[in-house]
Chain A
Amino acid sequence: ILNVEQSPQSLHVQEGDSTNFTCSFPSSNFYALHWYRWETAKSPEALFVMTLNGDEKKKGRISATLNTKEGYSYLYIKGSQPEDSATYLCAFYNYGQNFVFGPGTRLSVLP
């Protein structure tokens, strides 16, 4: 059974702070790593799809890095805003498998 872990489970930051969280996944047979943002009462929305070791992707104030050899990805948020409050999910996909999701990191940005 593949195990995907995310840390921390939750965190609270002040508006304007920068923050980051981690997704850990098995390093063998890597195919893709996805990040999703899930706001309360809405659908999860894709942030990044990462496929290559060393990938760095950026979308506005949010960026992500990928290390497939050691099995981790970091998500960074620069200058957090209240609208960034959400649960951030990562999902690991390897050859022959379906997506395996982490439990998520719940971010609260306090004004």
Chain B
Amino acid sequence: GAVVSQHPSRVICKSGTSVKIECRSLDFQATTMFWYRQFPKQSLMLMATSNEGSKATYEQGVEKDKFLINHASLTLSTLTVTSAHPEDSSFYICSATRRDRPRLNEKLFFGSGTQLSVL
């Protein structure tokens, strides 16, 4: 099955620093990568959608300058939380769709998530 590798799994940082989270599709080409955030006991909330080689599309209320997304290749997408603050502490997770599958039956392949704690 398709694998998405997400790193780091956990990060603790000081307020004001920037944190980069990587998601790699290991054995397939990811047409699209989705980035989600999840607060405790809440649903996964879509933050942005990125397609290889183009600018990410951000959901309403998500700051583009705060959460920088780069999808430079078909196997790598990164999310950078810039100048992180305690309110950015959350669980972040990515998912990807395969390049060669019909959209109707397409399922998502997830990373394992990153728990960010900003002190």
Contacts and interface: CB of A to CB of B under 8 A. Distances in A.
Indicate whether A and B interact: yes
Nearest to B6: A43
B105 A101 contact: no
Contact of B104 (A41, A45, A51): A51
A43 B43 contact: no
B110 A44 contact: yes
Nearest to A9: B41
B45 to A, nearest CB: 8
A12 B4 CA distance: 30
A89 B95 CA distance: 14
A32 interface: yes
B29 interface: no
Chain A CB count within 10 A is highest, among B41, B49, B111, for: B41
Given A43-B111, A99-B46, 12 more contacts: A32-B104, A32-B105, A34-B108, A43-B6, A43-B113, A44-B110, A46-B107, A49-B106, A99-B34, A101-B45, A102-B43, A103-B42
Interface in A66-111: 89, 91, 98-104
A49 B105 contact: yes
26 contacts: A34-B107, A36-B108, A36-B110, A42-B112, A43-B4, A43-B109, A43-B110, A43-B111, A43-B112, A43-B113, A44-B93, A44-B108, A44-B110, A45-B110, A46-B108, A51-B105, A98-B34, A98-B46, A98-B49, A99-B34, A99-B46, A100-B46, A101-B44, A102-B43, A103-B41, A103-B43
